[in-house]
Chains A and B, each alone.
Chain A
Amino acid sequence: MAVGFEYPDLSVAAIRAGLAAHDFSAREVAQAAIARVDALDPQVHAFLEPTPELALAAAERIDAALAGTDAHNAADASAAATHNTALDSLGPLAGVPIAFKDNMNQLGTHTTCASLMLKDYTAPFSATCVERAIAGGGLPLGKLNMDEFAFGSSTETSAFGRTYNPWDLERVPGGSSGGSAASVAAGMVTVALGSDTGGSIRQPASFCGVVGMKPTYGVVSRYGVVAFGSSLDQVGPFGRTVADIAATLDAISGRDLRDCTSQEVTTCFTDYLERGVAGMRIGIVSALTDAPGIELEIVTATHQAVKRLESLGAHIVEVELPNAAAALAAYYVIGPCEAFSNLSRFDSVRYGYREPDAADLGEQYEQSRAHGFGPETIRRIMLGSYLLSSGVYDTYYYPAQQVRTLITQDYQRAFEQVDALITPVSPRTAFRFGEIADPTSMYLSDIFTIPINIAGNGGLSLPVGLGETSGLPVGVQIIGPQFSDENIIQVAAALEATYDIRRRAPLEAGIHASIEDRLGTPLKAPTQASAEGGRQ
């Protein structure tokens, strides 16, 4: 291995430069990533199914393409420049270790959604985001743990055991994309993909001290991603730096004929990393940021971030989002209703768990769904079923959609005055396992993120260091106007550059050799899929 090859901290740009300079091969990067997953995932349990042979195969293709170009240009004096051209043709993620939330289909891997319902489901096709990430040069390291069907904020509802926060193994990584955040925070992969329906990318990113972005609804295709709330769901990237997020977004964004909500995106997000914020108008919402119930260290960190933006030359503008409080209630009407509809496809006939020995088809449906789905999933389906029932619809569902109009108008008005907004991501830092048992309290932890899904805008969680009291990662959220996600990248990159902070959790193999002794056995034993690893 070449000198200076410290895999866990490598950025997308460093991998690219290293490949171009022949400091290392894509195969060496893949091997380092596989070794890191082997060494750390027994502690973190971010992966439900590692796919080392797929990562190695992707690396071989990249090395072969680069070698082919080299041989062809052996006599050419400008060979180095040509080599870069070959890298460009391999895409923005050439040689970059990546992993996918397990609600994303990837041909030949399991897509479990962390549910017993889909424990044995093997994807017969790939989601567009997965296909594009791999076509863009990514090395697919595996599938990542999550809350079951993305219902949760802690990854505790996974049927296949907890994921542990790499910053403090006694705490949750957030959720629902907890595996995605933890895998990046632990330096097992460079970037990861997650999905965000009410904060499921941004909140775990903030809990694990990494960058996570939910782009505007329509920027990334959802084809092949198991649907939760179809008017809310959006796919987005995790990374340790804003630059890595931008490169990943460049690879996966844009129109896809297989998702009629996906839109043409011609923006190159990487172009917005160095532009600074001088002269930009950035909005703060004091009524939200300083509201009761938000930990002081979060408020302090947010205020400090605002000061830094101001000192970089941004104009700070106070704006109002008068209907923000109603967003939570609207979300907990709209989300379950859409989930109820989407999860009706799990009928135990075409795929999914089937209860043996049912007397008739009706009993088979009812018992298969009762035993295939976990408690939180059943709760959401039941709630959606109730809210859409005759008479109740007019009391909750229809008004929720009207409230959605008010919230959307709030943001439209705000973005007439500013180019971006800054708020906290979560009212607190990562909590301990089991600390929040009441479902309603768990729902409240998404109060800053949910309104963005209701309105459809993009939002990003940027780590701004460790909380004064908790000593755990704190994030701030940068929100942009619809389809101006480049504003978010521009502001986040400028703000990021003012912080000299750890980008990766201080976790190394062997330090917590016996986590089972300290924490007890995981809720459920890992599945066969995760125990065997790499099964295709």
Chain B
Amino acid sequence: MYLTEKDVRGIATYARIGLSDAEVAAMTVDLNSIIENLKPITEYDLRGVEPTFHPIAGLSNVMREDRVRSGFTHDEALANAPAEQDGQFLVPSILGDAGGDR
């Protein structure tokens, strides 16, 4: 067992996913099973092996000229917002009930 339910609750908080008690229990079983299958990674002799963070070696970034381009308009950027007010993204109170209008 790699993870307890308490660990899973901590991970969920970090990932900003609200899980119910039943979901935490099921997730704990699933994650332990998956992590067990990752074991080969821990068993290789990797001394002196450099990591590869990107699949294609020896390529350079593609850069464009540093020139101003038009992007989304204000309306386009807000078009998919679940809630907006005065041309801005609207969120609930950050500081709790005292924080103002919802």
Is A382 touching B11 in the complex (CB atoms < 8 A)? yes
Count, chain B residues at interface, CB 8 A = 57
Please report the C-alpha to C-alpha distance between residue A331 and residue B12 in the assembled complex, in whole angstroms: 22
Determine if A403 and B46 form an interchain contact, defined as CB atoms under 8 angstroms apart: yes
CB pair A257 B18 closer than 8 Å: no
List residues of B (43-63) whose CB comes within 8 Å of A's CBs. Answer: 44, 46, 49-57, 59, 61-63
Q: Which of A202-225 contact B (CB under 8 A)?
A: 216-218
Q: How far is it, in angstroms, between the C-alpha of A49 and the C-alpha of B79 when the chains are bound?
A: 20
Closest to A353 in B: B82
Number of residues on chain A facing chain B (CB within 8 A): 77
Chain B residues, CB < 8 A from A440 = 33-34, 37
- How many residue-residue contacts, CB under 8 A, span A and B? 185
Q: Given the complex of chains A and B, what is the CA–CA distance between A216 and B27 in angstroms? A: 35
Contact mask for chain A residues 254-272; partner B; CB cutoff 8 A; 1 contact, 0 none: 0111011111000000000
Q: CB of B85 within 8 A of chain A?
A: no
- Taking a contact as CB atoms closer than 8 A, the residue among B54, B63, B81 that contacts A351 in the complex is B81
Within the complex, which residue of A330, A353, A378, A399 is in contact with B17, where a contact is CB–CB below 8 Å? A378
Question: Are B64 and A257 in contact, with the CB atoms below 8 A?
Answer: yes
Q: Please measure, in the bound complex, the distance between the C-alpha atom of A381 and the C-alpha atom of B14, giving whole angstroms.
A: 10
Within 8 A of B (CB), among A373-390: 373, 378-379, 381-386, 389
A5 in contact (CB, < 8 A): no
- Closest residue of chain B to A334 (Cβ to Cβ) is B53
Q: Which A residues, 93 to 131, have Cβ-Cβ distances below 8 Å to chain B?
A: 120-122, 124-125
**Residue of A259, A359, A386 ringed by the most chain B CB atoms within 10 A:** A386
CB distance from A440 to the nearest CB of B (A): 5
Against A, the Cβ 8 Å flags (1 = close, 0 = not) of B13-39 are 111111100000001001101110111
CB neighbours (8 Å) of B54 from chain A are: 231
Taking a contact as CB atoms under 8 Å apart, the answer to whether B92 and A360 are in contact is yes
Q: Are A326 and B41 neighbours in the complex by a CB distance under 8 Å?
A: yes
Instruction: Given A122-B80, A259-B62, A364-B92, decide whether A386 and B3 contact each other with a Cβ distance below 8 A.
Output: yes
Instruction: Assess whether B51 is in contact with A373, with CB atoms less than 8 Å apart.
Output: no
Cβ-defined contact, B55 with A385, below 8 A: no
The main secondary structure of chain A at its interface with chain B is helix
Q: Contacts A121-B80, A350-B81, A454-B55; is A382 near B15 (CB within 8 Å)?
A: yes
| One of A325, A340, A348, A358 near B40 (C-beta < 8 A) | A325
Given A122-B79, A352-B82, A386-B31, A456 and B56 touching (CB < 8 A)? yes
Contact indicator A262/B82 (Cβ below 8 Å) = no
A449 within 8 Å of B (CB atoms): no
CA distance A217 to B52 in the complex (A): 14
**Most central of B27, B38, B81, B92 by chain A CB within 10 Å:** B38
**Residue A31 interfacial (CB < 8 Å):** no
A192 within 8 A of B: no
Instruction: Kindly name the residue among B15, B44, B49, B57 whose own CB sees the greatest number of chain A CB atoms within 10 A.
Output: B15
Q: Which of A351, A405, A454 contacts B80 (CB 8 A)?
A: A351
Contact pattern, A 56-76, Cβ under 8 Å of B = 1, otherwise 0: 000000000000000000000
> CA A329 – CA B36 in complex, angstroms?
10
Interface string of A344-372 (1 = CB under 8 A from B): 10001111111000111111111101100
Do B82 and A359 have beta carbons less than 8 Å apart? no
> What residues of A have a CB within 8 angstroms of the CB of B63 in the complex?
260
By a CB distance below 8 angstroms, the chain B residues around A378 are 17, 19, 27
Chain B residues near A326 (CB, 8 Å)?
40-41, 44
> Out of B7, B27, B37, B61, which one reaches A332, CB within 8 Å?
B37
Is A379 touching B30 in the complex (CB atoms < 8 A)?
yes
A24 contacts partner chain B, Cβ-Cβ < 8 Å? no
* A349 and B82 contact, Cβ closer than 8 Å, known pairs A333-B38, A386-B11, A401-B53: yes
Residues in A with CB closer than 8 Å to B18 are 363, 366-367, 369-370
A349 to B31, CA, bound (A): 29
Q: Is the CB of A455 within 8 A of B55?
A: yes
B12-A382 in contact (CB<8A): yes
Measured in the bound complex, the distance between the Cα atoms of B18 and A373 in whole Å is 11
Q: Tell me if A232 and B55 are in contact (CB < 8 A).
A: yes
Task: Tell whether, in the assembled complex, residue A382 and residue B17 are in contact, meaning their CB atoms are under 8 Å apart.
Answer: yes
B61 partner residues in chain A, CB cutoff 8 A: 260
| A340–B97 alpha-carbon span in the complex (Å) | 31
- In the complex, which of the residues B62, B72, B81, B94 has the most CB atoms of chain A within 10 Å of its own CB atom? B62
| A350-B89, A369-B16, A440-B34 known, 9 other contacts, Cβ within 8 Å | A261-B56, A261-B62, A363-B18, A366-B13, A366-B16, A381-B17, A382-B8, A385-B14, A443-B37
Chain A interfacial positions (CB closer than 8 Å to B):
120-122, 124-125, 216-218, 231-232, 255-257, 259-263, 325-326, 328-330, 332-333, 340, 344, 348-354, 358-367, 369-370, 373, 378-379, 381-386, 389, 395-396, 398-406, 408, 438-440, 443, 453-456, 482
> Can you show 26 pairs from A to B with CB atoms below 8 A apart?
A217-B55, A325-B40, A329-B40, A349-B81, A349-B82, A350-B81, A351-B82, A352-B80, A360-B99, A361-B91, A367-B18, A378-B17, A379-B27, A379-B30, A382-B12, A382-B15, A382-B17, A385-B11, A396-B42, A400-B41, A402-B44, A402-B51, A404-B52, A405-B52, A406-B49, A438-B33
